[in-house]
Structure formats: structure tokens, C-alpha cells
Structure 1
Amino acid sequence: MATRRLPVILAAGLMGLMLPVTAQAAPAQRSGDVTYTVDSTADAPDADPGDGQCRSREGTCTLRAATMEANAGRGATIVVPAGHYLLTVAPPPLPLGPFPDPATGDLNILRPTTIVGAGMGRTVIDAGGIDRVFYNGANSTIRDLTITGGVTKERELVFITGGGGILNVSRLQLQRVEVTGNRADYGGGVFNIPLSDLTISDSMVRGNSAGEAGGIRFDWTGKVVNTTITGNEAINPHWITHPASLGGRGGGIDLRGPGPLTITGSTITGNRATDEGSGLNAAPAYLDSLVPPNTGFPLSVVILKNSTIEANLESANCTRAFAAFLTDGGRLDRTCHNDPPRS
């Protein structure tokens, strides 16, 4: 299975390098004027998607039913009260087509949608290990909730193991969101593909794990604002022989696209990477497999503002290849120290 994974993920990184740096995700669109309020913690699909009513066969408005109705229209605002929402509708063992199936497995957002919880730790969306939690394919916002229990599955044909908590293929805002306890081969918490964009603010990304990019993987642009990224792990599975291995890098954050990735007022600490960049690793299209760490003409950019990257584990806090760490004034940043890692 390892030989099948690597070309797919490597292609994603190469796309990020080859596409024009000026390209950006489409402007955010307004969610539909419809609001659905979830009234059941059960996981059941909508009885008649497109009829404008969030209603399962049991007559309740579940989170899955609300998402399906939003997809069938122009999007929606979905209000999710406090509670533990466990996903129980398992995906099929093999993909049924090229598009996500909102009725099974992870929650697929396909139209501009805003999902509003009652607060981190109060509204908990738990995949229970059956799939990742969210697939985001539209310009959407998720706020005030916890995302946990996501695990990627081998059944997928594209980006087969990316994004344990969220796979983002469009433009996504996470506000006051906790992403915790998710697992994938790439991007344990969140995986952002080329041409996507993620802004995460006032949030917590902790305790996620992956073979690479334990917390968040960026393959294009992004912003991390007033957010703590801690306790995430990127552990090299050694699918191929070191030093050519592509795993074990970016315990907290891994940037594989051109950026810019802007990190403001945030703390990246206590993360672990077995190979490089326990806190932050930046190298477009896996060029770090070609040169020693912290070398190469910069093709991608990380901008650091009033942030702390320290006390990460096993490898240097920050590593880069063909990438630059800058201040907001354009100078080389000295905040991201490569001091000896804690053991």
C-alpha cells in the first residue's frame, strides 16, 4: 500500500510548486439564507434532500441531515447545540464514484455553509474512528466546537490518507475550534490541498498524529491566528528508506506549498517530529529530500508575528528547505530558534 500512497501525496506537493504563486482560493461566498437548528445527537441522513426541510426518517434534524440539505440548496447556517455528536453511519468499503457521499462516513460540506456550535468542549463532533470528521469542498466557516475521533480510510482514491479531522479542498475558516485526537498518514488534524486556504483563529490543535504533518498540513496559503498547536506528532512510518523518506516532518505544522503562511500571536510547543521540524517544517514539493535542512533559494514563505515556537520534541523546532521565515516587515525572522530539542 505504501507505494500507492507516495505518488499521490508527492503529486499534491508538486502541484503546489508548479501552480502560479499569485493564484488564490476563490473569494468567500455567503452561506444560504436558510438556518437549520439540529435537535438530535443521532447520526441519520436526511429523508428527502432538497425539500428544504432538515428531517431524518425519524423526524429529527440531525447534523448529517442539515448538512445534506445545505448541500442540496445554496448552503445554510447550521446551529449545533451542546452535545456529543457521534458519527455512526460507516462509509462503504470502496468508493462509489468520484464525489463524496454526504449520506455516509464523514460530513461533506459541498456548498458555502456556516456551522455554529455552543463552544469548544460543549459541542463535540466525533467521528468515532469510522472516517475523517469533515470534508470541506466549499467556502465555509466552522466555529465554537470540537472536532475529534477522525481517522482516514484506505478506500479513498484521491488524497487517500490526508486529513484526519478535516480535509479542506476549498476555503475554510475555523474560529474557536478545538481539533484533537485525530489521525491520518498526512495532516493528522487538518490537510489543505493545493489552491485551498485555511484561516484558523482563537483555536486549539492538540493531540493529533500522522506519519507527516501531525497538526496541520498546508499545501497553499493559510493563516494561524491566536492559536495553540501542541502535543501533535509526526512519526516516520519508514515506508521508504531514510534519508529519502518523506515522513516524520512537521510535528505541529508542515508547509508544502508556496504560501504565504502567516502565523500571528500563536504558540507552537510540545509537538514531536522524528525527522525534521518538530514545531514547523517548510519545504515546497518535498524539496527537503534533495538538500540539507535550512538551505535552498526560497520558493515558499512563512511570516511570523508575535508567535512562540519552542520546546518541541525530538527534532529542531523549525526546519526549512527552499523556504524563508520572515517577519511582517520582510526581514529574516530570528524567533524560530533551532535550539537543541527536548528529549
Structure 2
Amino acid sequence: MISLGVRLTGGVCAAVAVLSITGPAKAAPPTHDKALRSALDAIVATGQAGATVEVRRDGGVWRATSGRARVDRPAPPPRDGRFRAGSVTKTFTATVVLQLVAEGRIGLDDPVEHWLPGLVKGGAADITVRHLLNHTSGLPDPTDALIDDQGLPRDRWRTWRLTELARLSNRLPRAPYPPGTHYAYSNNDYILLGLIIGKATGHSFRTEITRRVLTPLHLHGTVLPGADPRLPSPHADGYATVRRDGRDVVYDMTLLNPTMAASAGEIVSTTADLNRFFAALLGGRLVRPDLLAQMTAETGGLGVETTTLGCGIRIHGHGGGIPGYLTVAFTSTDTRRQVALSINRNKPDDPSPAIMTFLNAAFC
């Protein structure tokens, strides 16, 4: 099943990058291109329609695509194409929350009940903003109420309000352990953070992410589309293949109402913009140093994920899935290497092992 959040084999998580993206980039060495090309093609060979990637390594940039933008046409995905980045949105949401913490408008240890009284069934006085950021709230994930067991939206065109999404979790049992004691990924955590941003600022999370992150960084290919089901051009189409009456049926999932994901997974972006965002974030341009350190902690990180590759290099970033698309965006600890990869899905085969092979080729 494709969920609004993605956990990749090997614990692909993310967080630190000081890479400065200024001026024209140099081409990467040809031998590097060959290894990356082979690994990128292997991702598509798992049954995906296509893939688009930007790798920044030691001052060079390698951009490439593989496969098709549409399953019924031979044209490749556009290198500068837009895509739904799913749960990579969480890092944008977390960035705004931590900016508000730095401004004294939100406290990391503020009870959720203080900000959203009565919204969480059973109360949220023992759940803090920090618990939401690091997925230790114990609150259930409402994704199964939004996406069926074959990865299709249950109500593709519905416009969801954040409070409606939050209340979906109230129908499910909470974890049997106290908040702050166990990690359990939940999109509901970031739906609640979207609401808290609204309470603290008087503006929607979309407005605040745009004002505080997208505009200052000139991320012109990145938008929070709200209820608009269209994907801006250029783009590759995304698909979901399911079994119906003993045969495979392919659904074009390019158009959908992304409010089902909202502050947990709504964002549309490009590979270049995601690399630029993580470079700015992890280079200290968006979040105060002490808060960035908490964001990128090996355990209990706030809105980022971290893993160590087989060669010993630690990478930081976030992954994201939404019907039709799968995204990973990661940076090495020394900030000299970055990868932003978008897959426009087709078959439901798990591409995670092939993605990990690509990340090892890019970072090691």
C-alpha cells in the first residue's frame, strides 16, 4: 500500500545540508554518470512508469530521467517536471513550527490541548508539540480511512478541512503507551501541527510555508495547491495498478484533491527545489542552530529522517508517498552530496531496495 508517508528499507530518514547552491554547476565525471544511470534505470525496472533525479555531488550536478512520462507514450519524464512530493511536506511544516518556536510564539513542550482544546478525543494535555514533530504522540494514523488497501483514494475529489482529517483519528484507538515513549509514524501528527500553525499565526499553514520558505528561497516550482486537483506542467503522470477480477487495471492518479494530505503531504515540487530547500535548511538559513540540532538528532529528530548507508555515510532528509508518486530527498552529513528523486508510479512493486541502491551509488 502507498501511504501518505513512506518509510524506506534501511530506515531512510533525513536532516543536515550546508551545501551552497550558487552559480553554474559543473558536470559530474562520466564514470559517476554511468553508475547513477544504471541505478536509476534499475528503479524503473521494478515496474515504475518513470523516474526523475537531481544529484549534487562535490560541486557537480547530474540530472537525468528514466522511463516514461506517460505509460502510453515513449517520451521520458521532464527533467524539470513537477510532482507530488507527499510526506516531504512534513519537513516544510516542521520548519515553520520551529521558526515559530524561535519567535516565542509556540513552545516545543506546549500541550496540544492548549492549542487545540477538545479536538483530540480523550484529551491531549499529555501530548506536546515536540511529540507531534517526532511522531511519539501515540495518536493513530488516519491514512487507511483515506486510502484503500490497494493504494487508491477512497474519495478522490473531496476537499478536506484540517479539523475533519484530525477527527478521523478520533475513531481509532490510541496507543497503549504514554506519549513520548515510542515512535509511531502518524500523518495525524502533522495535520495537528498544521492547525497549530494556524492558531499561532492567524494564517493557514499554506500561507506560512509560502511566506517563510518558498518565497525567500525562490522555490518557483513548489506550491501548496490546496483543493486544486491539477498538477502544474511540465509533469509526468502518476499511476496505480490494482487487481480487478483477476487482471491488472491501471488508474491514472495524476489528478486528485491533495487536501487529503494537507500539512502532512500536500506539496508539489521539483527535484531542484527540494535540493535547494534542504541545502538552505541544513545550512542554517531557515532554523536557529540549537533548534536545527534538535531537528537533525539521530534519535527523536523533528521533521527529518536519518539513516546510515552501507559505506558508513549518514544521510538526512525525508521520503514521501501519495497515490501515483514516490519521492526521496536526502543530503549527506558533510553537506557535499544531495539527492532528490521522484518516481511516477505504475505497478505496486516495492522499489525501496532499488532506491537504496541508487542512494548508495550517489552518496558512497
TM superposition score normalised by structure 1: 0.23
Structure showing the higher helix proportion among its residues: 2
Structure showing the higher strand proportion among its residues: 1
TM superposition score normalised by structure 2: 0.23
